[in-house]
Amino acid sequence: MAARRGGTPRVFRYAKTGSDFAQGQYTVNGSWDPGWNGGLSGGSANAGIGANWQAVGQRTVISEPYAAPKPNLTNGPRPITFDKSGRAWIVNSENGDPNSADESAPHRKVQVLRADGTPEATLGWGGKWPDRDHPGVTFYGTGAATTPDGKILTTSETSNRLNVFDPTTMQATGQIPLDLPAGSDNSDDKGYRSPYAVAVDPVDGSIYTGLVDFRDAPGMKTQVPYVEKRDASGKLLAKLKSPSGAAPFLRTGQVVFNVVVNPHNRHVFAWSQFNSGVVEWDEDGSFVRSWNASNNTVGGVAKAAGVATEAFPGMGTVRGLTFDEGGRMYLTINEGGSSMGRDSSPGS
């Protein structure tokens, strides 16, 4: 599935039509396909996601409840995560938000869709600031992830926490506060941690967060951004950074826009809001490589000597990343206008 917030807010479901991952590759006969937007499926037949998935004209388009009452002002489907039964959990970022242009919008922050794309439940609400400690109350949510024990985590940016939902009861069951003591990063750091993105290690349950504070917060917005790694309770374990002396893969003054864990090898991927490069670390937090449109640059910045990079021709401003069961990675680029995919093993 893919969510589209700009233009007309919708969710698209592409049914799987094959399992030949060689046929579905981003490469053709071992070389990059110049017509990657559709590749072997023919032209732009399926928006570049590969030959194993439905063409655009055959996909399921899910418009409700995102079409009313005011598209883009009261609706904005952002992240999608899946529970163990295959249901899709979609955070509706604008719906019921206190900053919404329509305060009368129903306060339903999370949409749950069955595997076939039909709606099953709506959960969570915007609430008022005094309600922020109540599980499920969300102040601008843009991230979602699934834990090894099947719980769903969603972000609440303004109240600096994660909400926890239980798919078995369809209830919000808890929260994970993220704020740290003042001075945790430097003397100007107020300790606020406002999550824009969240990901979870599928084995040990470690939580990775991408933060807004690198754009907005004193003591943070002048720092080169990093990804915070926490345990299941929210305790800070580590900071995933770019290698010393390297070009800033995560851009100073920008939101860490998304964090994704590859379920096959537990590697962590992240990127900045307006970056055309993706950074990869291993499960221990060691830098692995950067993925970018040309291996002579890193996210549009000339690479430092000795820094591992991997070319991903055609990469633009990155918005989404996921993996299929064959280990192939899919990127949504250029404000969701197109998608592209390739094997996640370098050199393939």
Sequence-distant (6+) residues with CB within 8 A of 323 are: 260, 262, 263, 264, 329, 330, 344
First vs last C-alpha separation in the chain:
25
Please give the single-letter amino acid code of residue 324. D
Sites in the chain below the pLDDT cut of 70? 1-7, 20-51, 68-74, 95-107, 243-248, 294-307, 311, 313-314, 335-348
> Which residue is listed with tokens 């990343």?
321
Give 245-291 pLDDT, tens digit per residue. Answer: 555 578 889 999 999 999 999 999 999 988 778 899 999 999 888 88
Give 103-140 pLDDT, tens digit per residue. Answer: 444 557 899 999 988 889 988 887 788 889 999 989 88
- Identify the pLDDT of residue 33: 46
CATH number of 82-343: 2.120.10.30
Kindly state the DSSP code that residue 242 receives in the 8-state scheme.
Answer: P
- Which residue ranges make up each domain of the chain? 82-343
Three-state DSSP state, 236: strand
C-alpha distances out from residue 75 to 5, 10, 122, 206, Å: 8, 9, 13, 30
Question: DSSP string covering 56-85, please?
Answer: GGGSEEE-TTTTSSSBTTTB-EEEEEE-TT
Three-state DSSP state, 221: coil
311, two tokens: 């070319």
CB 177 within 8 A of CB 160: yes
Q: How distant is the alpha carbon of residue 295 from its chain centre? A: 23
Question: DSSP string covering 263-317, please?
Answer: TTT--EEEEETT-SEEEEE-TTS-EEEEEESSTTEETTEEPPTT--EEE-TT--S
CB 82 within 8 A of CB 16: no
Q: How distant is the alpha carbon of residue 198 from its chain centre? A: 7
- Identify the pLDDT of residue 21: 65
Three-state DSSP state, 66: coil
- Identify the pLDDT of residue 294: 65
- Identify the pLDDT of residue 164: 98
**φ, ψ of residue 305 in degrees (nearest 5):** -60, 135
pTM, two decimal places = 0.88
What mean pLDDT value characterizes the chain? 80
Instruction: List strands edge to edge, sheet with 152-156.
Output: 144-146, 152-156, 161-166, 171-177
